[in-house]
Amino acid sequence: MLPHPFSRGVFICAPPIHVGRHADAGEMEAARADLENTLNRITEEADLLMAPDKF
Amino acid sequence: MKNGFLNSLLTRVAPFLGSLVIRFLRLSMRIKYENFGVLRGLLKDGNIILAFWHGRLLMMPYSYMGMGGRGLTVLVSLHRDGELISRTVGHFNIKSVRGSTTRGWVSGIKGLLRSIEGKRDVAITPDGPKGPTQKAQMGIIQIARSTGLPIVPVTFSASKKKFLRAGTGSCSPIRSQGAYSFAPLRFT
C-alpha cells in the first residue's frame, strides 16, 4: 500500500500477544489465530478511520 | 557485464531513492498514532516482536522510530526484492536478517535470535512476501515461544492510497527476474 503525499495517515497499535514458553500445539495455534484476527481488525479499523469523507 | 554493473548500481540507488520517498511521504502527511502507549511501555520494560502485514510495510519505520526502542532488526526474504527492502530500511538505521518460512528459515531464525540476544527488537511480517495475504504463519509464534517476548501488532492506513499489487505478486516471473526500477515501492 502506497499512501499519497499530503494525505492523512494513522498508525494503530494493538495490545501485545504473549506465547508461553511451554505452550503446546493448541495454544500456539490459538496465538497464531489471535495475531491474525488482531492484525485484520486493526487494519480494517485504520482503513475505516481513514475513509474519505462522503460529504 | 554491462547489465551486471547497471544492476548493482540500481541495487544501491533505488533503495536510497526509496528511502527519500518514504521520508517525503512522512513529512508531507498528517499522521496520528493510536494506542502507541502500549508500545512505548513495553519498550521501556524490554524487547518486543513487532508484527505487521506485508501489505502495510512501507511506512513502518515510523511505527518504531521515536518510541524509545533500542534498535530494530527486521526479517527480510531471500528474494531479490528482499535485497532492495533490506537496503532501503538500512537508511532508517534498521538492520535486517535474510530468510523466511519458505526459504532460508534456519539462517533467518538464527539471525533474529542473535539480534534478540543482543537486546534488539525484531520485526516480522507474519504473512511473508509470498502470502497468502493477511494469513499469519506459525514462524512468529515459534520465535515468541522460544524467546518469551511479546508480539506487538501494528498497522497503518492513509486517507488516500494505492494498492500496488496483489499481495502474492511476488510469484510473478516479471518480479522475480527483477524489473528493478520501482521495486522498493512495490510493496502492496
Residues of B in contact with A54 (CB under 8 A): none
Query: Which pLDDT score, from 0 to 100, does residue B181 have?
Result: 36
Q: Closest Cα of chain B to A25: distance in Å?
A: 10
The three-state DSSP-derived secondary structure of chain B is CHHHHHHHHHHHHHHHHHHHHHHHHHHHCEEEEECCHHHHHHHHHCCCEEECCHHHCCCCHHHHCCCCCCCEEEEECCCHHHHHHHHHHHCCCCEEEECCCCCCHHHHHHHHHHHHHCCCEEEECCCCCCCCCCCCCCHHHHHHHHHCCCEEEEEEEECCEECCCCCCHHHCHHHHCCCCCCHHHCCC
Q: Which of A19, A27, A38, A48 best probes binding to B when mutated, by most B CB atoms within 10 angstroms?
A: A19
Pairing between strand B72-76 and B121-124?
Answer: parallel
* Per-residue pLDDT at B13 exceeds 60: yes
Beta-bridge partners for B74? B96, B123
Q: Are A9 and B154 within 8 A, CB to CB?
A: no
Query: pLDDT band at residue B47, thresholds of 50, 70 and 90?
Result: very high
Q: Has residue A49 got a pLDDT over 50?
A: yes
CB spacing of A13 vs B160 below 8 angstroms: no
> How long a stretch of residues is chain A?
55
Mutate to test the interface with A, among B156, B162, B187 (most CBs of A within 10 A): B156
In this predicted structure, what is the pLDDT of residue B173?
34
Neighbours of B40 (CB within 10 A): 14
Q: What is the predicted pLDDT for the residue at B105? A: 76
Say yes or no for a CB contact (<8 Å) between B151 and A50: no
Q: Check residues B178 and B104 and name the one with the higher pLDDT.
A: B104
pLDDT of A9 > 80? The answer is yes
Residue A1 to residue B162, Cβ atoms within 8 A: yes
Confidence check: pLDDT of B186 > 50:
no
Q: What is the ipTM of this complex?
A: 0.95
Q: What is the mean pLDDT of residues B13-32?
A: 97
Hey, is the C-beta of A44 within 8 angstroms of any chain B C-beta?
no
- Residue B172 above 50 pLDDT? no
CA atoms within 13 A on the CB side of A40: 11
Q: What is the pLDDT of residues A18-38, one digit of tens each?
A: 999 999 999 999 999 999 999
User: What is residue B169's predicted lDDT score, i.e. its pLDDT?
Assistant: 37
Strands B151-158 and B121-124: unpaired
Residues of B in contact with A42 (CB under 8 A): 153-155
Q: Residue A3: helix, strand or coil by DSSP?
A: strand
Query: pLDDT at position A32, please?
Result: 98
Q: Helix, strand or coil for residue A12?
A: strand
pLDDT band at B151 (very low <50, low <70, confident <90, very high): very high
**pTM for this prediction:** 0.87
User: What confidence score (pLDDT) does residue B8 get?
Assistant: 85
Per-residue pLDDT band at B103 (split at 50, 70, 90): confident
